[in-house]
Amino acid sequence: MMTDRDVWMKAGAILAEHGAMTADYIIDQISDAIGDRVAVEDWRRVAAAVDAISDAQSRGAN
């Protein structure tokens, strides 16, 4: 299982690399992880972190 720090680092790196296509990338990763409950939970946490980062960035732009 990923640490909280690992989750946030991965989320930031994914956003930086994939931008608007981040959701598609995460869906692909979760699809590959099906059957591995730990991996699915890790990716769920990464997706939540991506949402939090995106929300904070959009609020900062106002």
> What average pLDDT does range 23-51 have in this prediction?
93
Provide the pLDDT confidence category of residue 62 given band limits of 50, 70 and 90.
low
Q: Are 1 and 43 in contact (CB under 8 A)?
A: no
**In this model, does residue 13 exceed pLDDT 70?**
yes
pLDDT in tens, 15-32: 999 998 999 999 999 999
Residue appearing with tokens 């699915």: 40
- Residue 58's pLDDT is 80
Cα 4 to its chain centre, rounded Å, is: 12
Whole-number pLDDT of residue 40:
93
What gap in Å lies between CA 8 and CA 53, rounded to an integer? 9
